[in-house]
């Protein structure tokens, strides 16, 4: 058995048996998928596919080095194409459900490290990944800006939802590159349970999304929307619904009562116009107004200028949910961005390699599955090392899965605590100074041959 497979079995406690090739084949049979028991049957293909991704998404021509029997890169590509998408989704969902069950059992045992005041916390954020420039992918996903065919790469918009404390990836929705986060986020609500809390940036704090969360008995802690005018003056006036001139200078929300310093209850009103992405029947079901809580705090840190944070939340009880704790939770939202960096940069999902829409979907889904396998290993290691899982190194866990001593329980590197860490987003070393393409490859080749012919 390969090191990667042994590493996975090393952290198995009896619930990960679905990862074994023979049981993958059993799931394929139960799903009505016909196949032959060969070197590249669904079970072996699934296992090799995961190892290909975990190994850095190596070239298809090199996958046969990971197997016990040789096969051509064409045979491997055909095997990946035959692997049912539904089978990968089933295995991934089982992995998510089992891991979430473990998290709940850990909390019920009295640890409580994966919940906040009895609530499960989830983060949501948008990102992108790119892929080869083929007509099918460009037509399906589009390209950033107005780049014509032959320039740039097709790029997908991804909306990811993760468990805030463990980093487990719960849901992912892909769509064309110009999709707005707010038009997709409602689809993630079906993965949540009543009482769950969602953290996000100000793209998700619109009236429509907050109202949808309340309809699903969910909660939000988010920065106030960038178009929302916030005013903490007691008994202040608010702009009438149809007075556009007043709305430009006055808040639309109605002040209800104060819960503390810069911590009032306010009433948000339903906008006049329906978002283009929303179904008319669902728009009609939204209430005419909702009650939320706006909080503002000025944070002072040694060595840094004070920063002012303004949030909106649907958690209305100031005793059960203190304002300072809510603001502190909002500041931890960056954790999902760190996890997305692990997924895209450390694991390598920022650039996919398949050239068809179906192939890209499978490749991306396998990246998500391998990411969650790594997270599962980190959760087990965190219990053994008695440390918060957020402090364990994702890169070191991936290195252990690839090359570590799989005969012993992993000892993952523990990152130091660095509260308030702030670094400039700049490169120390410049990248290769090659110019960008301003014409298609065919046009540039024609110019190159023309110059070569002139000098010949």
> Residue 116 is inside which H or E element, if any?
strand 115-116
pLDDT score recorded for residue 299: 86
- On whether the CB atoms of residues 74 and 109 are closer than 8 A, the answer is no
pLDDT score recorded for residue 441: 83
pLDDT score recorded for residue 242: 66
Tokens of 177: 């590159």
Of the candidates 311, 350, 316, 315, the residue with the CA atom closest to the CA atom of residue 332: 311
Neighbours of 267 (CB within 10 A): 15
- On whether the CB atoms of residues 224 and 310 are closer than 8 A, the answer is yes
Least confident of 38-47, 51-60, 415-424: 415-424
pLDDT digits (tens, 9 = 90+) for 100-151: 998 888 877 666 788 999 999 999 999 999 999 999 999 999 988 766 677 7
Residue spans of the domains in the chain: they are: 3-89+351-403, 116-338
Of the candidates 339, 340, 382, the residue with the CA atom closest to the CA atom of residue 11: 382
Beta bridge partners of 120: 115
- On whether the CB atoms of residues 316 and 112 are closer than 8 A, the answer is no
pLDDT score recorded for residue 14: 39
Q: Which fold has domain 116-338?
A: Transposase Inhibitor Protein From Tn5; Chain A, domain 1 (3.90.350)
> Residue 172 is inside which H or E element, if any?
strand 169-176
Average pLDDT estimate for 259-285: 94
Tokens of 30: 């139960």
3-state secondary structure of 127: strand
pLDDT digits (tens, 9 = 90+) for 335-375: 999 999 999 999 999 999 999 999 999 999 999 999 999 99
Tokens of 207: 């009236």
Of the candidates 305, 311, 315, the residue with the CA atom closest to the CA atom of residue 328: 311
Average pLDDT estimate for 270-290: 94
pLDDT score recorded for residue 418: 74
Q: Work out the mean pLDDT of the chain and round it to a whole number.
A: 88
- On whether the CB atoms of residues 120 and 197 are closer than 8 A, the answer is yes
The residue written with tokens 């048996």 in the block is: 17
pTM greater than the 0.85 cutoff = yes
Residue 360, CB-side half-sphere exposure with 13 Å CA sphere = 25
Tokens of 454: 């002139």
Average pLDDT estimate for 265-279: 93
Distances (CA, A) of 297 to 171, 235, 262, 307, 426: 32, 20, 8, 8, 29
Alpha-helical runs (H) found in 195-332: 207-215, 244-247, 280-285, 323-331
């Amino acid at each position: 058995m390969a090191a990667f497979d042994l590493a996975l079995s090393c952290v198995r406690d009896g619930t990960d048996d679905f990862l074994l090739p023979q049981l993958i084949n059993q799931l394929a049979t139960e799903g009505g998928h016909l196949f032959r028991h060969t070197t590249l049957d669904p079970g072996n293909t699934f296992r090799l596919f995961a190892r290909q991704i975990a190994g850095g998404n190596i070239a298809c021509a090199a996958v046969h080095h990971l197997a016990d029997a040789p096969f051509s890169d064409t045979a491997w590509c055909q095997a990946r194409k035959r692997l049912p998408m539904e089978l990968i989704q089933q295995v991934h969902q089982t992995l998510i459900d089992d891991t979430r069950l473990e998290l709940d059992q850990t909390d019920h045992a009295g640890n409580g490290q994966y919940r906040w005041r009895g609530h499960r916390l989830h983060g949501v954020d948008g990102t992108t990944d790119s892929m080869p420039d083929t007509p099918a992918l460009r037509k399906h996903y589009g390209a950033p800006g107005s780049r014509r065919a032959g320039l740039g790469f097709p790029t997908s918009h991804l909306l990811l939802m993760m468990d805030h404390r463990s980093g487990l990836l719960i849901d992912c929705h892909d769509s064309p590159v110009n999709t707005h986060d707010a038009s997709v986020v409602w689809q993630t609500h079906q993965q949540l349970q009543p009482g769950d809390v969602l953290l996000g940036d100000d793209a998700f704090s619109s009236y429509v999304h907050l109202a949808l969360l309340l309809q699903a008995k969910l909660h939000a802690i988010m920065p106030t929307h960038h178009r929302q005018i916030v005013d903490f003056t007691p008994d202040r006036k608010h702009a009438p619904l149809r007075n556009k001139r007043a709305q430009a200078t006055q808040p639309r929300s109605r002040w209800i009562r104060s819960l503390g310093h810069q911590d009032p209850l306010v009433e948000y009103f339903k906008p006049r116009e329906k978002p283009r992405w929303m179904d008319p029947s669902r728009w009609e079901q939204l209430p005419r107004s909702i009650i939320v809580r706006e909080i503002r705090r000025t944070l002072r840190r040694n060595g840094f200028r004070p920063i002012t944070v303004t949030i909106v939340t649907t958690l209305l009880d100031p005793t059960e949910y203190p304002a300072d704790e809510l603001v502190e939770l909002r500041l931890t939202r960056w954790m999902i961005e760190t996890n997305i960096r692990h997924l895209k940069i450390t694991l390598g999902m920022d650039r996919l390699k398949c050239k068809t829409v179906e192939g890209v979907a499978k490749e991306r889904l396998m990246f998500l599955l391998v990411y969650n396998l790594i997270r599962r290993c980190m959760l087990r290691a965190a219990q053994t090392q008695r440390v918060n899982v957020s402090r364990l190194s994702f890169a070191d866990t991936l290195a252990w899965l690839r090359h570590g001593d799989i005969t012993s329980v992993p000892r993952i590197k523990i990152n130091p605590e660095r509260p308030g860490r702030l670094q400039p987003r700049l490169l120390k070393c410049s990248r290769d100074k090659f110019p960008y393409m301003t014409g298609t490859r065919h046009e540039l080749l024609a110019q190159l041959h023309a110059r070569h012919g002139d000098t010949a």
